[in-house]
Amino acid sequence: MDALSPSRQSRTQPMMLSPSENRMQDLQESNRELAGLLHHLRARVSDIRQQVSDIRDQQEIILQHQQAFQQSPPDAMDPQNAVAQARPTSLKTLAELPRISIQNSSSFLYHVSLKLCKKEDKIFEAIVGEFGPTPPHSLLEKQVVVACPLTGKGTLECQAENSILYMERGDGITFVQKAFIAQKAGAVAVVIGNNTSHPWPYVMKDSKGEANTLGLKIPVVMISREDGKDLMEWCNNDQSPLKANLTVEEIGKDCIICVEPLSLNQTALRLPSCGHLFHESCALLWLEQHNSCPYCRQELPTDDKEYEVERRRRQNTSSETFRTNRLSFYG
Write down the pLDDT at residue 55: 78
23, pLDDT greater than 90: no
pLDDT score at 59: 66
Asked if 159 and 145 count as a contact pair (C-beta separation under 8 A), the reply is: yes
pLDDT tens column, 33-49? 888 788 788 878 877 87
On the question of pLDDT at 67 being above 70, the answer is no
Check residue 21 and give its pLDDT.
Answer: 74
pLDDT above 50: residue 326: no
Are 197 and 276 part of one and the same domain? no
Do 128 and 244 belong to one domain? yes
291 vs 90: CA distance, rounded Å: 8
What DSSP assignment string belongs to 142-157?
EEEEE-SSTT--S---
My answer on whether 303 and 268 are in the same domain is yes
Name the pTM for this structure.
0.60
Kindly report which listed range (8-22, 82-96, 203-217) carries the lowest average pLDDT score: 8-22
CATH classification at residue 91: 3.30.40.10
Provide the domain count of the chain.
Answer: 2
CB neighbours of residue 261 within 10 Å: 13
Statement to judge: residues 192 and 304 lie in one domain: no
Burial of 329 (0-12, 13-18, 19+ CB in 10 A): exposed
202 plus 222 within the same structural domain = yes
Residue 93 lies in a domain: yes
Which of 9-13, 170-174, 185-189, 257-261 has the least mean pLDDT? Answer: 9-13
pLDDT of residue 279: 93
Together in a domain, 112 and 193: yes
Of 223, 250, 277, which marks where a domain is finished?
Answer: 250
168, part of any domain:
yes
pLDDT of residue 264: 86
Stretch 251-279: mean pLDDT: 86
Same domain for 237 and 173: yes
Evaluate whether 165 touches 185 at the Cβ level (below 8 Å): yes
Q: How many CA atoms lie within 13 A of 54 on its CB side?
A: 6
Q: Give the contacts of 217 (CB within 8 A, at least 6 positions apart).
A: 132, 133, 183
Specify the pLDDT at position 280: 94
In a domain, 157, yes or no: yes
Name the domain boundary from 199, 222, 250: 250
Range of 181's domain?
107-250
